[in-house]
Amino acid sequence: MLQVSASPSFNRVAKKLHARDKETLDEAIKPILQNPQLGEEKKGDLAGVFVYKFKLNGQETLLAYELQPHKTAPIETMLLAVGPHENFYTGLKR
């Protein structure tokens, strides 16, 4: 199983979630750890970033992550961001 680390921006958002929403987020992370290629790999400015979609309170939510040191033989999963689609990619580019 891969090691997991989280960026400060991911931690900031995850900290504000309700307890049951945190459980849903944890359940969304588990399949990623079992199959790191599960998310959709982005191109262009966000090359190397994977995005996994899941439902949180009936709303589609995006979870962005990177595989470190490289995607072919990852050792660690870096959780970058979580949130609704609105302005998600703009915030992720920063």
Quick check: is 78 in a domain?
no
Sign of CA dihedral 29, 9, 17, 47: negative
Question: Domain of 25?
Answer: 13-73+83-93
- Distance (Å, whole) CA 81 – CA 93: 11
| pLDDT higher than threshold 80 for residue 1 | no
Query: Are 45 and 93 contacting, i.e. CB atoms less than 8 angstroms apart?
Result: yes
Quick check: is 36 in a domain?
yes
The mean of the pLDDT values for the chain is 92
Domain count, the chain: 1
Quick check: is 23 in a domain?
yes
The string of pLDDT tens digits covering residues 52-82 is 999 999 999 999 999 998 888 889 999 999 9
Quick check: is 4 in a domain?
no
Task: Give how far the C-alpha of residue 94 lies from the chain's centroid of Cα atoms, to the nearest Å.
Answer: 15
DSSP character string of 30-63: HHHHH-GGGSEEP-GGGTTEEEEEEEETTEEEEE
pLDDT given at position 60: 95
